[in-house]
Chain A
């Protein structure tokens, strides 16, 4: 008996066909953001603040404009005024107004006939600053003597008496916390910190924008969401969304960082000022690190009560996060909601503060907030298990959230797969591998909500019976394959007979970006419904040809067939036959579905890592790494495994090496990949994966999103493994060699 009520055997779903974008990518034929060019194109360069916090006294572009070939210079004066809320935040982040709020904040932009000329001209733009006091650290930004970054930013939620840099306050919980702690045999409280990290996508932001004086424009851009680009650029520029046509390029990674705008309005504004000539703007890696959204940095307190049998009786968390100088950019709300979501705890209380700091405007990063929360909660849980002599995985299973349980953030869980995930983890062979000297094993669990969202998909039957699917969610992790497979499965045709195109903003209704692990879930759901519409039309065409009622025809293996002996005896009419004559049987056949997708299935995962720590250098080597996660249903298992592995690798980087390093002057010290250390292949073992399938009843094929949960457990899993290997508990990320070595030495000194 399967665990779900859904069909479990499929012709295509669950197989591993070739990826549709594979040949384009290995041959260099795929066109990324910087690959797009246009006749008469200009190139742009951006003038950025060298100060963490500075008033802009004067901008003089006369020397730049005097250069032959410079066609336009823009400042904030070229943008409309009067914006409010997040629109103002976006505009202010695109180009500073009166004050530069972080090192790298754009203050002007130049368009010229060559990239080198634009860069030379940008250096000739004179900006006079009055340097202001700055603050970088989240805890320091809350202190009474901290410089005020933007007075009056705080919203209604902040209690009176807090520093003006505290702009949002959240609290929620349930149960009797004090009674829960009193019931526990062991109560422990600890504090944790994580540094900001960047999504680290391979492809820097790039776009080509063109806009005339009439406000009509086009943009080609690497993005996770072309409609978000359209809406945000239009808001910032004061133009109408429908007049801007945005076409997404192939995308070299986004991980949340390409769900918003950073420099795209500059290309359009420069084009408008340069008489409508197209303007190309490509960020350098240093610009990406200095001026596009990393995730937040966090400072966190956790308190937990546990009985000797491992039952968690109560837990409270207090998180403080900075997401730069703009309200609403930190994921503190998400972090709080994820913190204890893996467990059923009778009494929980969450408090969170969003704090402004002189850093770049944070953007979403893969399960925003959840990795930091997991680092704090899963580290303390591990410490307490060891103190009580309990198996940490068994304790997680004992307290695991189950279907019908109240989530720590309120609602009741529907069908979820954490128990199955933990059981598969505990049964894995990696846990039986003996460990040697200086080696340790650590485990952790993780959670992400997943998301549905606004979705619009169209499908058209071709004259030869092949099928084109138009979707609005850029393919960042294999969605063209999964959508093609689900469409082909539904239509009963070959996977190769379906082409999935990511289309521009004029081709469909509004789609949210590929975010929240939603593309295969939501666009897949819509594609299946669109296919069903096309099937109904094809059955009707066959019925008309046969002279029988449409209800007497059903769809089977890619063809219309009579539904039973009473319908008459007719040979199957294939999709190719129907497509070939559709012009003379009623016209084109298509399907279309649009929905704000519900039925989302929450996602849980568990990771186990073995490490070896060099006691002389503090360097951590990852020996083995296991990811176990509930996919609901893995449409294309190879892509699902890739998501699991990618999430784990980004989490390993966050745990061990990645961090934003600021000098005393508030300037970013490591804005290149040589100094901002992401993991490379030689740092890593093969990441082992296990796909657990507890189908989501809210999706026709049982899909849950799989893109985000994988980054959540690595941070605490590595901390737990390093503690097991060294006897030293690190509560501040990254656990880089100097920090690990210092902790080992401090521990040796007692």
Chain B
């Protein structure tokens, strides 16, 4: 299982949980599992979030994840 940390604005769409454990071996799989467990999160994820994997923002949904990885869903960041 992989632990996904949600920023607190997401918690109300996920049963008030801060950390959710899901199965999956890639970023895409764990996001799919997250939405399956908490369908209300779909609109939030579709609206745009950034996935932080061990301190790095990843955009490649095929990136592999491991149970020991630190994963955060955070605000989508744009630059100038």
Instruction: Using CB atoms and an 8 Å cutoff, list the residues of chain A in contact with chain B.
Output: 155-157, 169-173, 199, 255-257, 259, 331, 333-334, 336-337, 364-368, 407, 409-414, 448-454, 515-518, 596, 598-600, 698, 707-708
CB nearest neighbor in B for A602: B55
Min CB–CB distance A342 → chain B (angstroms) = 16
Q: Does B44 sit within 8 A of A, measured CB to CB?
A: yes
By the criterion CB–CB under 8 Å, are B55 and A412 in contact? yes
By the criterion CB–CB under 8 Å, are A171 and B9 in contact? yes
- Knowing A156-B44, A170-B9, A452-B57 are in contact, say whether A410-B79 is a contact too (CB < 8 A): no
Instruction: Using CB atoms and an 8 Å cutoff, list the residues of chain B in contact with chain A.
Output: 5, 7-9, 13, 43-44, 47, 52, 54-60, 70, 72, 74-80
CB nearest neighbor in A for B63: A598
Tell me which of B60, B70, B75, B76 contacts A596 (CB under 8 A).
B60
Whole-angstrom distance between the alpha carbons of A452 and B8 in the complex? 26
By the criterion CB–CB under 8 Å, are B9 and A169 in contact? yes
By the criterion CB–CB under 8 Å, are A331 and B78 in contact? yes
CB nearest neighbor in B for A407: B55
Tell me which of B13, B52, B80 contacts A516 (CB under 8 A).
B80
Residues of B within 8 A of A259 (CB): 80
Whole-angstrom distance between the alpha carbons of A518 and B80 in the complex? 10
By the criterion CB–CB under 8 Å, are B80 and A515 in contact? yes
22 CB-based A-B contacts, threshold 8 Å = A155-B47, A170-B7, A170-B9, A171-B8, A173-B8, A256-B80, A333-B77, A337-B74, A365-B80, A366-B80, A368-B80, A409-B75, A412-B54, A414-B54, A450-B79, A454-B59, A516-B77, A598-B56, A598-B60, A600-B56, A600-B57, A708-B79
CB nearest neighbor in A for B8: A172
Min CB–CB distance B5 → chain A (angstroms) = 6
By the criterion CB–CB under 8 Å, are A708 and B80 in contact? yes
Residues of A within 8 A of B78 (CB): 331, 334, 364, 368, 515-516
By the criterion CB–CB under 8 Å, are B79 and A449 in contact? yes
Residues of A within 8 A of B60 (CB): 596, 598
CB nearest neighbor in A for B51: A411
CB nearest neighbor in A for B56: A598
Tell me which of A257, A336, A367 contacts B75 (CB under 8 A).
A336
Min CB–CB distance B9 → chain A (angstroms) = 5
By the criterion CB–CB under 8 Å, are A156 and B8 in contact? no
Min CB–CB distance A15 → chain B (angstroms) = 27
- Knowing A412-B54, A698-B56 are in contact, say whether A333-B79 is a contact too (CB < 8 A): no
Whole-angstrom distance between the alpha carbons of A342 and B11 in the complex? 25
By the criterion CB–CB under 8 Å, are B72 and A517 in contact? no
By the criterion CB–CB under 8 Å, are A170 and B77 in contact? no
Residues of A within 8 A of B75 (CB): 170, 172, 333-334, 336-337, 409
**A-B residue pairs, 7 tightest by C-beta:** A516-B79, A256-B80, A172-B7, A333-B75, A364-B80, A411-B52, A410-B72
Whole-angstrom distance between the alpha carbons of A559 and B77 in the complex? 43
By the criterion CB–CB under 8 Å, are A449 and B80 in contact? no
With A515-B79, A517-B79, A518-B79 known, 7 other A-B pairs at CB within 8 A are A170-B9, A333-B75, A334-B75, A337-B74, A364-B78, A410-B72, A516-B80
By the criterion CB–CB under 8 Å, are B43 and A410 in contact? no
Whole-angstrom distance between the alpha carbons of A707 and B79 in the complex? 10
Whole-angstrom distance between the alpha carbons of A450 and B56 in the complex? 11
Tell me which of A368, A413, A450 contacts B55 (CB under 8 A).
A413
By the criterion CB–CB under 8 Å, are B79 and A368 in contact? yes
Whole-angstrom distance between the alpha carbons of A596 and B61 in the complex? 11
By the criterion CB–CB under 8 Å, are A367 and B79 in contact? yes
Residues of B within 8 A of A413 (CB): 55
CB nearest neighbor in B for A159: B12
By the criterion CB–CB under 8 Å, are A255 and B80 in contact? yes
Min CB–CB distance A429 → chain B (angstroms) = 32
Residues of B within 8 A of A515 (CB): 78-80
Residues of B within 8 A of A412 (CB): 54-55, 70
CB nearest neighbor in A for B48: A328
- Knowing A157-B9, A171-B8, A172-B9 are in contact, say whether A451-B77 is a contact too (CB < 8 A): yes
Residues of A within 8 A of B72 (CB): 410-411
By the criterion CB–CB under 8 Å, are B79 and A451 in contact? yes
Tell me which of A169, A367, A454 contacts B80 (CB under 8 A).
A367
CB nearest neighbor in B for A331: B78
Q: Which of B43, B58, B70, B72 has the most CB of A within 10 A?
A: B72
Q: Which of A169, A414, A451 has the most CB of B within 10 A?
A: A451
Q: Which of B44, B70, B79 has the most CB of A within 10 A?
A: B79
CB nearest neighbor in A for B76: A333
Residues of A within 8 A of B77 (CB): 333-334, 337, 449, 451, 516
By the criterion CB–CB under 8 Å, are B7 and A410 in contact? yes
Whole-angstrom distance between the alpha carbons of A366 and B78 in the complex? 10
Min CB–CB distance A560 → chain B (angstroms) = 34
Tell me which of B8, B47, B58, B76 contacts A598 (CB under 8 A).
B58
Whole-angstrom distance between the alpha carbons of A331 and B47 in the complex? 15
By the criterion CB–CB under 8 Å, are B80 and A596 in contact? no
Whole-angstrom distance between the alpha carbons of A333 and B48 in the complex? 12
By the criterion CB–CB under 8 Å, are B79 and A364 in contact? yes
Whole-angstrom distance between the alpha carbons of A59 and B61 in the complex? 47
